[in-house]
Structure 1
Amino acid sequence: MQDAPRYTYRQTVAADAVRYGGGSGLGAVLKLLAGNRMFRVTFTLRSCQAANRMTGPLRKPLLTTCRLLHRWTQHSAAMDLPWETEVGPGLRILHGWGLVVNANARIGANVTLFHGVTLGQKDDLLPGGRVTHYPELGDGVWVGPHAVVIGVPIGDECIVAASTVVTKPMPRRTVVAGNPGKAVAEVTIPDIPHPAPVGDFAVTAAMAEPAAVPG
């Protein structure tokens, strides 16, 4: 899984834009902001996190403004994606309605999430007290409509089928299906529409050439 904090605000926004249509320049970002409610949510999430990393007197008012905008974009898209969530570059959300993500979940690079997906915590009641686990999606993971991942890691480039309930860790390149979710096949070709170049230099280079989002 990529380490999200090592990417700059500009790099993560560019990578997200690539996932939504193949463009990474300013024109593509502006077009997506104007016409794609799912992209707006990821954009305001990135903006909140960038503001939170700032120092100086502008940090607090800017973070407050970004958080209000993020609350509005989530409401408009009917999803719950907290700004605190650690998300790698190149997130793509399809349809978005009913998406719910725990703030402590971790999402890798080039991940695809469909409508109705839930990434929630798992609580184990042990003699010594409650132990909480949070979901972690590796790079290139594809999660289908209404799938649920509860407090476990999903390896890189896995495919989680629609309506699957995952309660056990899954290794890299596994197709997971059913309730409870089980490994049913091996992924031979990862499902990553418009993969973003997530290497530090690759993302920077892609941003240097503005491109329009295809209609």
Structure 2
Amino acid sequence: MSLVTTLIAHRRHRVFGRLVQELLALYGVEVPAPVEIGPGLKVYHRGFGTVLHPYTTLGADVTLYNGVTIGRADPWVPQEQSAMERVVLEDGVMVCAGAKIVCKRGVLTVGAGTIVGANAVLTTSTGPNEIWAGAPARRIGTRKGPAGATDGALLHSA
């Protein structure tokens, strides 16, 4: 487990939580205490520049690269007036470097085993084991089922 992943896991600590948040800030990582995180989170390249909205849920074995942003598509609107409810990344999702996942309204769900490509801007929910890329992101293919989901193998292009 990397130092940043360990710090993220301890960000809610009763005594050291504030110190942990400040240490994460040195890496440019913002993971508020309300973010729900499943087991097996992997953060690569120390997560430099990674920002997660408080209304984010990460499933088990999610992988985040540096520069990832997960949040609202309407940051100019006060939070209590926003139409965004939550962003959910299901189990085994991989979000590549610089990708942005922004929710316009309701709940945006990234399906289990989905890959969001580098610098993609994802604004819609995805199905399981899909590959999304581009700005705005579009589905460019699918992955093999759960057994092959970790190797990133392309099953077919869209």
Structure 2 length-normalised TM:
0.80
User: Match for 1:121 among 68, 72, 75?
Assistant: 72
Higher strand share: 2
User: Match for 1:44 among 10, 15, 33?
Assistant: 10
Q: Does 1:100 align with 2:59?
A: no
Partner of 2:89: 137
Partner of 2:21: 71
Q: Which amino acid aligns with 2:23?
A: T
User: Match for 2:100 among 125, 148, 159?
Assistant: 148
Q: Is the 8 A contact 1:120 1:135 kept in 2?
A: yes
Q: Does 1:175 align with 2:131?
A: yes
How many equivalent pairs are there?
140
Task: Say if 1:76 and 1:153 are closer, same or farther in 2 by CA, change over 3 A.
Answer: same
Q: Which amino acid aligns with 1:70?
A: V
Partner of 1:190: 149
Deviations 1:74-131 (A, max 9, x none): 12322101122011111111011000000111111000000000010234x9xxx742
Distance 2:94 2:82 in 1: 30
Distance 1:132 1:164 in 2: 20
Q: Which amino acid aligns with 2:6?
A: R
Give 1 or 2 for the bigger CA radius of gyration. 1
Query: Unpaired segments of 5 or more residues in structure 2?
Result: 152-158
Q: Is the 8 A contact 1:100 1:118 kept in 2?
A: yes
Question: Whose RCO is larger (CA < 8 A, sep 6+)?
Answer: 1
1:1-40 equivalent positions in 2, closer than 5 A? 20=1, 36-40=2-6
Distance 1:130 1:37 in 2: 34
Q: Is the 8 A contact 2:131 2:140 kept in 1?
A: yes
Q: Is the 8 A contact 1:37 1:73 kept in 2?
A: no
Q: Is the 8 A contact 1:105 1:135 kept in 2?
A: yes
Higher helix share: 1
